[in-house]
């Protein structure tokens, strides 16, 4: 789904998290490497340099930004489902709305029959 092998995806996500910590904190580079899940400091340095082109120390000093955003599986599945529906029903436009707050109204009655019609006629 990400078009990356799982190990590569994980390494890039760890590198991205490390890049954020390098920018936003004064933590030592070695501590950042371990916090981001690298087994050894050498692996961290090697992977970071392969992905960003810089060592963590140089990255912290430059204005280069490395970001590898995490895939949001729910969004990805929604997109695939919407695309499938759009292909099956080309005349139907599929849109997604963001969640919105609504206002509810409680209608209390003594009977069950005809409530919908009564409520519609008084609205």
- How far, CA to CA in Å, does 3 sit from each of 6, 8, 12, 14, 17? 9, 10, 13, 17, 20
Residue 19 near residue 52, CB atoms below 8 Å: yes
The model's pLDDT over 92-120, given as tens digits with 9 standing for 90+, comes to 555 555 676 766 666 666 776 776 676 66
Question: 22: how many CB neighbours lie within 10 A of its CB?
Answer: 21
Which pairs count as long-range contacts for 37-43, CB under 8 Å and 24+ apart, including other chains? Answer: 37/10, 38/14
Q: Which residue has the higher pLDDT, 82 or 16?
A: 16
Does the reported pTM lie above 0.85? no
Whose CA is closest to 94, among 110, 108, 109, 83?
83
Question: 92: how many CB neighbours lie within 10 A of its CB?
Answer: 8
Whose CA is closest to 60, among 68, 50, 52?
52
Whole-number average pLDDT of the chain: 80
């Amino acid at each position: 789904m990400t078009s990356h092998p799982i190990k590569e995806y994980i390494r890039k996500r760890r590198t991205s998290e490390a890049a954020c910590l390098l920018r936003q904190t004064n933590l030592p580079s070695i501590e950042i490497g371990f916090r981001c899940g690298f087994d050894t400091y050498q692996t961290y340095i090697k992977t970071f340099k392969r992905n960003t082109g810089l060592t963590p120390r140089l990255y912290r000093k430059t204005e280069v930004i490395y970001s590898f955003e995490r895939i949001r599986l729910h969004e990805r599945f929604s997109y695939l489902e919407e695309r499938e529906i759009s292909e099956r029903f080309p005349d139907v436009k599929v849109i997604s709305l963001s969640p919105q707050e609504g206002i509810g109204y409680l209608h209390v009655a003594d009977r069950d029959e005809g409530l919908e019609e009564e409520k519609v006629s008084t609205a």
